[in-house]
Amino acid sequence: MRTAVEYLTLPFLFLLSSLCSFQMIACITDILTASQFIKDGETIISSGGTFELGFFSPSKTTNRYVGIWYKNISIQTVVWVANREVSLINTSGFLEVIKPGLLVLRNDTNDIIWSSNSSRSVQNPVVQLLDTGNLVVKDANEDHPGTFLWQSFDYPTDTALPGMKLGQNFVTGLKVYLSSWKSYEDPAPGEYSYSYDDLGYPQFLLKRGSILLCRPGPWNGVGFSGLSIIRKNPIFSAEQFFNETELYFSYHLLGSTILRFTLSPIGVGQVWTWDGNARSWKLFLSEPADSCDNYGICGAYGSCDTRNYALCGCLDKFSPKFPERWAKGDSSNGCVRNIALDCHGGDGFLKYSGYKLPDTRTSLFNQSSSLEECEMVCLKNCSCTAYSNTDIRNGGSGCLLWFGDLMDMKVTYEAGQDIYIRVAFSESVSLDGSEGRKRKILVISLSLLICLVLLGLSFIYLWRRKKKHSKLKKQGMPGHIHDKDCTTELVKKDLELPLFELSTIIKATNNFSNHNKLGEGGFGIVYKGVLEEGQEVAVKRLSETSRQGLDEFKNEVKCIAKLQHRNLVKLLGCCTEGEQKMLIYEYMPNRSLDSFIFDQKISELLDWPKRFHIIQGIARGLLYLHQDSRLRIIHRDLKASNILLDADLNPKISDFGIARSFGGDETGANTSRVVGTFGYMSPEYAVHGRFSVKSDVFSFGVILLEIVSGKRNRGFVHHDHHHNLLGHVWKLYKEGRALEMIESYLGNSYCSSEVRRSIHVGLLCVQQRPEDRPGMSSVVFMLTNEGQLPEAKQPGFFLERNVIDAYDSSNDEITITLLQAR
């Protein structure tokens, strides 16, 4: 039997337990600290009571997700989802913030199924749900937006809330965009995306995968040229901010209206407002709103007008390209000019008012130029087809130029903008008026002046060339053949490599815009480009100050033009117009290997199977160069930054500027000019100028060990010794602790025997003596087959100080001329 004390104590304990439980939940208002967590059924609420965060299930499913929704709206409307790709299968999940500043979601087995990221560590991290709907991770001692460790506004799902910035940070590379739910019951990323495209003048694009479906037109200071409702509405204001470091679009509410912009699972952008009286969401704006919003429906120089029965028509001074198809309702091939352009005879421009501006992906812009300056620039360039202002406020400012056909124009009666399109001079103005006569006189005068200047320059050039040729002839030397002629002859006759026009490359790279810049090396700058048919390319442009000159350009063309292998980057063609020397390659969306393995965050994307796949791919590509190609080729500059990764992370060897080819039984040579990258060069090449296929094997071994470890050979630091990475791995290998050098992120998820074999093969490749190193055929065999491996010997250059003093240790890429006698 229970005593009286027990009868009194039990209710007290129950009450205390209830109070503690209540206190635990009550403490969680808008902030979650490192000592707290929320489990399924519990929520946190923003300070103003506008938003709530917790666990939810979409309709018709029992899967659980962590999301944010409106607190005081009767219809649960989710505006953000954390674990949209991996759902919880029961209600045992919980959300917590952990040091050094990560928000993590765990399942019933305590595994992390979703996590935020952070660029720095703090001692006292907290999570706060702001009244804007933004979920932030921050230091409890800091309270400024710029100090957030992470925020959900940087990683939206299908909804843009007021104050959110959709766009791109050019410094950090962060891109903020919307992606639809897979379906109304599945928040996983769907087919559709809505994002800024900065190829040319920035514009929003609505896409299904890579297919462009719709665009509202570029921002013009007061709105999008294709959306009238943005410009005049009492509910919200919008702005675009664009400079060298940042590009974003944001909107702000003008009153107490509740509003959200969403991208639906069927690919429709929608602006919704909450009707408190009807207790329902009302559609305020939809995009695409009508058939004219479908991208390119009327083709080039076509104009779509919803007030016309036929929808599509041609711009004034243009006619259907295929009239018989237009008669049958097919306008996809667009329109052509009634009178062809004659740039040298003088063209003009015709003003078209009230249109959604054309697709700007083939445009250039200058935000400080006037419209008059814009006209003059466009008139001087035969490829320029139209111009307009970038900003229509205060009478207009900024210059926007189009190159190539004008696509996706639409009559917009309230939001449209003026655009000046190039036409034949006779169609541009009335020649009977004074304005026409002045314009004609001006154009003719300019044309005559340009012709006279060009004629004079040509005469001076020919006179100097003739004088130089005569001087050489007197000295018994042949006249000089221009580099362009030589290079073009090489490309056309010897290699049959396609030649690209300079205008094509300028258009593809947005006039070599910094936004298109992929990287820079000894050759020059590499740009991303998009050809007219949509193919993405990488353009390698020889700079005037390049340490690698015309010889290296020709060498790269000779070495790689006719090579075909899945692990070699493909050369698509060249551009040798004027003084320009450019190589056009297939585009590698994942860029170079070093950007993956040496970046703490990105390296987590490479699990062991992917790393081993990359190692094998490099080995097969090198085997092809050494043994299976038409000529034996020694790369001489094999390094992680010269290994490019395609969309499926397949490795491709690139940069053959200093490669050497051999025929017959030749396997190497000597040189007095050692060119390469310190940390990857073999000892015999760096010290004595002797290079061979075994020099490439040494470089491959370095790359292999860097892939496994995630550490650079050059500059490797360890508190116990002064070895570089090769020396460190060699030390662990001799002590039977080789697995300690692997990338920490891999944890225990790798195949230990496969990793051990890879490390062993890497050490065999970097042995001091070239004759001890295996050939690439043996390397490929050893990587893919079980069996006893030979004992590795001491690697070359395994001490950081084991280098001759002639090297400049502050510079990774070096060119050394050896002075000793041969």
Q: What is the pLDDT of residues 288-335, one digit of tens each?
A: 988 899 999 999 999 999 888 788 999 999 999 999 888 888 898 999
Least confident piece of the model among 150-164, 395-409, 448-462, 687-701: 448-462
Range from 19-28, 252-261, 541-550 that averages highest in pLDDT = 252-261
Cβ-contact 248, 420 below 8 angstroms: no
Catalytic one among 293, 637, 655, 696?
A: 637
Pick the CATH number of 590-822 from 3.90.550.10, 1.10.3720.10, 1.10.510.10, 1.25.40.20: 1.10.510.10
Q: How far apart are CA 264 and CA 184, in angstroms?
A: 8
Residue 626 has pLDDT above 80, yes or no: yes
Q: When comparing pLDDT for 402 and 4, which is higher?
A: 402
* 46 and 71 Cβ atoms separated by less than 8 Å: yes
Counting other chains too, the contacts that 731-736 makes at CB distance below 8 Å and 24 or more residues apart are 733/759, 733/760, 733/763, 733/792
Question: Minimal CA–CA distance to 502: which of 396, 573, 444, 580?
Answer: 580
Is 637 considered catalytic here? Answer: yes
Comparison of pLDDT for 579 and 409, the residue scoring more? 409
pLDDT of residue 805 exceeding 70: no
Neighbour order of strands in the sheet with 65-70? 44-45, 51-56, 65-70, 78-81
Q: Taking each helix axis from N to C terminus, what angle separates 693-709 and 725-734, rounded to the nearest 10 degrees?
A: 80
Q: What is the mean pLDDT of residues 491-505?
A: 73
Residue 821: band (very low, low, confident or very high) from pLDDT cuts 50, 70, 90: very low
Those residues whose C-beta lies under 8 Å from the C-beta of residue 530, and which sit 6 or more positions away, are 199, 361, 508, 536, 537
Which range among 169-178, 246-255, 445-454, 687-696 shows the weakest confidence by mean pLDDT?
445-454
pTM of the complete model: 0.54
In degrees and rounded to multiples of 5, residue 13 shows phi and psi of -65, -40
Cα three-residue angle 770-618-604, rounded to 5 degrees = 120
pLDDT tens digits, one per residue of 679-706: 899 988 888 888 899 999 999 999 999 9
What Rg value do the Cα atoms of the chain yield, rounded?
A: 33
- pLDDT tens for 350-376 read 999 999 999 999 899 999 899 999 999
Q: Do domains 24-155 and 480-587 have the same CATH topology?
A: no
Residues 129-173 have pLDDT tens digits of 999 999 999 998 876 666 899 999 999 999 999 999 999 998 888
Name 436's Cβ contacts closer than 8 Å, sequence gap at least 6. 429, 430
pLDDT tens column, 509-556: 999 998 899 888 767 789 999 998 889 999 998 876 554 556 667 777
Give yes or no for residue 747 having a pLDDT over 80. Answer: no
pLDDT band at 750 (very low <50, low <70, confident <90, very high): confident
Mean predicted confidence (pLDDT) in 90-118: 94
Using CA atoms of 33, 36, 42, 46 in order, give the dihedral in degrees to the nearest 10: -10
Say which residue, 664 or 56, is predicted with more confidence.
Answer: 56
| pLDDT in the model for residue 577 | 80
Residue type, 560: I
HEC sequence for 179-205: EEEEECCEEEEEEEEEEEECCCCCEEE
In sequence order, the β-bridge partners of residue 207 are: 193, 212
Whether the bond between 216 and the residue before it is cis, its omega within 30 degrees of 0, is no
| Residues contacting 106, CB < 8 A, separation 6+ | 93, 94, 95, 96, 112, 113
Q: What is the β-pairing status of strands 246-253 and 259-263?
A: unpaired
Helix (H) or strand (E) holding 229: helix 228-231
According to the model, what pLDDT value does residue 418 have? 94
Cα(98)–Cα(32) distance, integer angstroms: 10
Which stretch of 151-155, 327-331, 441-445, 568-572 has the lowest confidence by average pLDDT?
441-445
Closest CA to 299 of 355, 236, 231, 359: 359
- Give 390's pLDDT tier (boundaries 50, 70, 90): very high
What is the arithmetic mean of pLDDT over 440-455?
67
Topology (CATH level 3) of domain 24-155 = Agglutinin, subunit A (2.90.10)
Give how far Cα 684 sits from Cα of 601, 633, 639, 741, 797, Å.
36, 18, 17, 27, 10
Closest CA to 364 of 248, 541, 241, 516: 516
What does the pLDDT average to over 607-618?
93
Question: What is the structure's pLDDT at 638?
Answer: 95
Averaged over 461-483, what is the pLDDT? 47
Q: Determine which of 322-326, 475-479, 636-640, 660-664 has the lowest per-residue pLDDT on average.
A: 475-479
Residue 85's pLDDT is what? 94
CA distance 436 to 295: 36
Which of 163-167, 477-481, 646-650 has the weakest average pLDDT?
477-481
What percent of the chain shows pLDDT beyond 90?
A: 51
Structure tokens at 624: 């092809």
Per-residue pLDDT, averaged over 3-28, amounts to 41
More confident residue, 756 or 21: 756
Most confident segment among 342-351, 383-392, 680-689: 383-392
Q: Which of 136, 51, 52, 143 is nearest to 97 (CA)?
A: 136
Instruction: Give pLDDT, residue 741.
Output: 87
pLDDT at 27 over 60: no
Choose between 369 and 466: higher pLDDT: 369
Between the ranges 514-523, 768-777, 784-793, where is the mean pLDDT highest? 768-777
Residue 686, pLDDT score:
83
Tens-digit pLDDT profile for residues 209-241 = 999 999 999 999 999 988 876 766 788 999 999
**CA-to-CA distance for 345 and 361, rounded, in angstroms?**
28
Q: Is the pLDDT of residue 442 over 80?
A: no
pLDDT of 668 reads: 65
Cα separation values, 460 from 258, 454, 467, 482, 549, Å:
71, 10, 11, 17, 27
At 21, the pLDDT band (50, 70, 90 cuts) reads: very low
We find that the CATH architecture of domain 329-428 is 3-Layer(bba) Sandwich (3.50)
Give percent of the chain with pLDDT exceeding 70. Answer: 82
Q: How far apart are the first and last CA of the chain?
A: 106
Task: Taking residues 192-207, report their average pLDDT.
Answer: 94
Q: Residue 798's closest CA among 705, 690, 693?
A: 705
Give burial (CB, 10 Å; 0-12/13-18/19+) of 595.
Answer: middle
Cα distances (Å, whole numbers) of residue 573 to 197, 354, 502, 585, 693 = 26, 42, 12, 7, 27
Nearest to 385 by CA among 296, 330, 317: 317
Predicted pLDDT at 667: 58
pLDDT at 227: 84
Task: Tell me the Ramachandran region of residue 346: left when phi exceeds 0, alpha when psi lies from -120 to 50, beta otherwise.
Answer: left
- In angstroms, rounded to a whole number, what is the distance separating the alpha carbons of residues 88 and 811? 51
User: Which are the contacts of 739, defined by CB distance < 8 A and separation ≥ 6?
Assistant: 752, 755, 756, 759
Candidate from 350-359, 424-433, 483-492, 745-754 with smallest mean pLDDT: 483-492
What single letter denotes the amino acid at residue 711?
K
- According to the annotation, is 60 in a ligand binding site? no
Closest CA to 87 of 70, 72, 107: 107
Residue 456 pLDDT > 60: yes
Q: What is the pLDDT of residue 700?
A: 97
Tell whether domain 480-587 is in CATH 3.40.640.10. no
User: How large is the greatest C-alpha to C-alpha distance in the chain, in angstroms?
Assistant: 129
Q: Are the C-beta atoms of 252 and 163 separated by less than 8 Å?
A: yes
Q: What is the pLDDT of residue 407?
A: 96
Q: What six digits make up the tokens of 26?
A: 């009550």
Q: Is the pLDDT of residue 729 over 80?
A: yes
Average pLDDT, the chain: 83
What are the extents of the domains in the chain?
Answer: 24-155, 158-289, 329-428, 430-464, 480-587, 590-822
Question: To 10 degrees, what angle do helices 752-765 and 608-623 make?
Answer: 30
List C-alpha distances in Å: 409 to 136, 428, 597.
41, 20, 45
Report the range out of 78-92, 469-483, 652-666 with the highest average pLDDT. Answer: 78-92
Q: Is the pLDDT of residue 400 over 70?
A: yes
| Two structure tokens written together for 405 | 């056909």
DSSP 593: T
Degrees (nearest 5) of the Cα angle 678, 682, 684?
120
Q: Are 765 and 697 in contact (CB under 8 A)?
A: yes
Q: 397 — phi, psi (to 5°)?
A: -160, 165
Segment 643-670 shows an average pLDDT of 81
pLDDT value at position 467? 58
User: CA-CA distance, 639 to 656, in Å (whole number)?
Assistant: 12
How many other CB atoms are there within 10 angstroms of residue 765's CB atom? 29
Cis omega (within 30 of 0) for bond into 478: no
Can you state the angle between helices 693-709 and 752-765, rounded to 10 degrees?
140
**Is the confidence at residue 669, as pLDDT, over 90?**
no
| Mean pLDDT across 760-771 | 95
pLDDT band of residue 59 (cuts 50, 70, 90) is: confident
Buried b (16+ CB within 10 A) or exposed e, 527-564: bbbbeeeeeebbbbbbeeebebeeebbbbbbbbbbebe
